[in-house]
């Protein structure tokens, strides 16, 4: 059950990009609204923005806000926002089953959602949790071709990063979960 990853597409019908993912013991529904031009003031005229809202009755307000910030920070760096000028990518994440791997599950769910929706990015983002005794650390990565780079570390990260075989295994499971036409169109047939 180390890197168990399962995805269900079209969770909200075919008109709206939405996925239900199960990663380890955590089940998450992610929904994409956009890209669209917001009715209020434009954040940036030359590039888009990512906004994430996490809804979870199990985690407190501060923890939910922290998860939102980490996801926004990670995906704002990875999504090619210049291709979506004056636009907003609004992502809603609903936690259906809670576990301590929540941040990694949310990042992986949003990653598959954006890949499935055809949102341009600088690679495939994914996250792995590492538990060392009672300390939990979540490492975020982005895969660009054959290179995997760490872009995020959250928690008590004194422990070592997960082994490369775990990173490659999760990445392969995520890519395999994509529909075949998304694989051909957006991942170059990987």
In this prediction the pTM is 0.81
Determine the pLDDT at residue 162. Answer: 74
Would you say residue 86 lies in a domain? yes
What DSSP string runs through 28-39? EEEEEEEEE--S
Would you say residue 92 lies in a domain? yes
The CATH number covering residue 11 comes to: 3.30.230.70
Would you say residue 109 lies in a domain? yes
Would you say residue 186 lies in a domain? no
Residues lower than pLDDT 70 in the chain: 1-5, 9-15, 42, 132-135, 156-159, 178-190
Give the tens place of pLDDT for each residue, 40-51: 776 777 888 888
Would you say residue 102 lies in a domain? yes
Determine the pLDDT at residue 10. Answer: 66
Would you say residue 121 lies in a domain? yes
Cβ distance 171 to 143 under 8 Å? yes
Cβ distance 32 to 114 under 8 Å? yes
Structural domain boundaries enclosing 98 = 5-179
Domains held by the chain: number = 1
């Amino acid at each position: 059950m180390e890197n168990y990853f399962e995805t269900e597409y079209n969770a909200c019908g075919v008109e709206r990009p939405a996925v239900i993912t199960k990663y380890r013991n955590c089940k998450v529904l992610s929904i994409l609204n956009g890209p669209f031009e917001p009715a209020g003031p434009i954040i940036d005229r030359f590039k888009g923005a990512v906004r994430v809202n996490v809804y979870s009755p199990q985690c407190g307000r501060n923890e939910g806000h922290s998860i939102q910030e980490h996801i926004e920070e990670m995906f704002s760096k990875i999504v090619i926002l210049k291709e979506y000028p004056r636009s907003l990518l609004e992502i809603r994440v609903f936690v259906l089953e809670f576990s301590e791997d929540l941040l990694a599950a949310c990042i992986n769910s949003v990653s598959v959602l954006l890949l499935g929706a055809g949102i341009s990015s600088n690679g495939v983002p994914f996250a792995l949790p590492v538990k060392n005794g009672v300390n939990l650390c979540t490492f975020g990565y982005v895969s660009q071709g054959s290179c995997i780079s760490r872009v995020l570390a959250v928690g008590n990260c004194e422990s070592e990063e997960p082994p490369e075989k775990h990173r490659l295994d999760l990445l392969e499971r995520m890519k395999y979960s994509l529909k075949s036409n998304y694989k051909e169109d957006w991942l170059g047939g990987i």
